A and B are shown apart, each in its own frame.
Chain A
């Protein structure tokens, strides 16, 4: 299917100008906080409107400033996992998951929710509210909800940042599982080098609203194009990766 974007936006002294194209793979947007990674995701999802550019998912144009196309966020059919997960606190885990299945018949919804509950090991937690779930459990519910209606692309905005280290490492394995399950582009935002190295098929290095380098993690780590990239990925040493 693939995802290609060209995005330009000026906000309060910050200039974003990025263009990239990916296939059905896991792409990491890597860079310091404030580099424009989350902003990119919001524009892909239609939560923020670019000043200029386009967003195409497969052959569908979701946004194109030159053709005045702007598909509303509700109709873009994307999975989005927020940094704070954004689980609805007044709904149970099951209701949160079911909420992700708009425009499905009742039996289809139940069936799909059952599939998700099995796949994400949520069995037994269905009636619990988000406040009663652990960090890792919330994570799994958020992913199940985002994948309920088989999105055209999955956007992950640092969804593991609130977890402590051992669980974050566990989540890399989890993410590889997602990759196998989802035949769509996955865009994963992180500022954690080890995390990027461990999960990415392709890595796009962001800095201050522009792209410094694109390539496989191995390529970026071994051949940084600039001192800035080298400093960002700390390429003087191979990162200590926990798989």
Chain B
């Protein structure tokens, strides 16, 4: 019985981290591109806003997410009024929390990678008649690929380990929203050390592995 709950947490954690990482890649690359390539008023302010979850306590990020997406939240209220559905205390909330907390890692790494692409290569593509979109797809993204992959792996690892904001937004409902970090919290709280030990070791091992991968990607040894 307990074994199956461990498996559930493991599967849920991967599901949440994978879905969050998908959105992180799509949104993160887009935002990083505009931050790296365009000059506009309020650019650094926007960068700061996206980076905030990296330094804020996850509970504070979670608090903001409740204000926005809670049943009475700025965005949550109209959604609830329209569909009768609220994201709160669902696994989708765990995805949202992981997304917001891990997104800055993707943006920071990808922005740096895009900014490091030689400006002459971009200009060469323009003088050869290629549009900005084509230049992005055929020159900038392939050359920034390593940084983007490193960012994605780091974000996945961060999403896998997300705890504070997830607890605030998704709760810790056994068999529903208890990802591995939340399950470890419950197990430690109820003194089930052998189960907790196994999960802690597994999470540490996987996170270490992801960090090794991220380093290898950014150094170009993969």
* Residues of A participating in the B interface, judged by any CB pair closer than 8 Å: 45-47, 72-80, 82-84, 86, 88-90, 99-100, 102-103, 145-146, 148-149
Contact = CB atoms under 8 A, between A and B. Distances in A.
Interface in B116-151: 118, 120-121, 123-131, 138-139, 142-143
22 contacts: A45-B123, A47-B123, A73-B127, A74-B126, A74-B127, A78-B127, A80-B124, A82-B123, A84-B118, A86-B118, A86-B120, A86-B123, A86-B124, A88-B121, A88-B124, A90-B143, A99-B125, A99-B138, A102-B129, A103-B129, A148-B128, A149-B128
A45 B127 contact: yes
Contacts of A82: 120, 123-124
A150 to B, nearest CB: 12
Contacts of B124: 80, 82, 86, 88
Given A73-B126, A102-B129, 11 more contacts: A45-B123, A45-B127, A47-B126, A74-B126, A74-B129, A78-B127, A79-B127, A84-B120, A88-B143, A100-B128, A102-B128
Contacts of B130: 74, 99, 102
B121 A86 contact: yes
Contacts of A74: 126-127, 129-131
A103 B143 CA distance: 24
Chain B contact surface mostly: helix
A126 B131 CA distance: 25
Contacts of A88: 121, 124-125, 139, 143
Interface of B: 118, 120-121, 123-131, 138-139, 142-143
Candidate in B126, B138, B142, B143 with the most chain A CB atoms within 10 angstroms: B126
Chain A contact surface mostly: loop
Contact of A80 (B127, B138, B142): B127
B142 A90 contact: yes
A72 B132 CA distance: 11
Contacts of B123: 45, 47, 73, 80, 82, 86
Contacts of B139: 88
A75 B127 contact: no
A146 B126 CA distance: 12
Which 3 A-B residue pairs are closest in the complex by CB-CB distance? Answer: A102-B129, A86-B124, A80-B127
Nearest to A77: B129
Candidate in B126, B127, B142 with the most chain A CB atoms within 10 angstroms: B127
Contacts of B128: 99-100, 102, 145-146, 148-149
B19 to A, nearest CB: 30
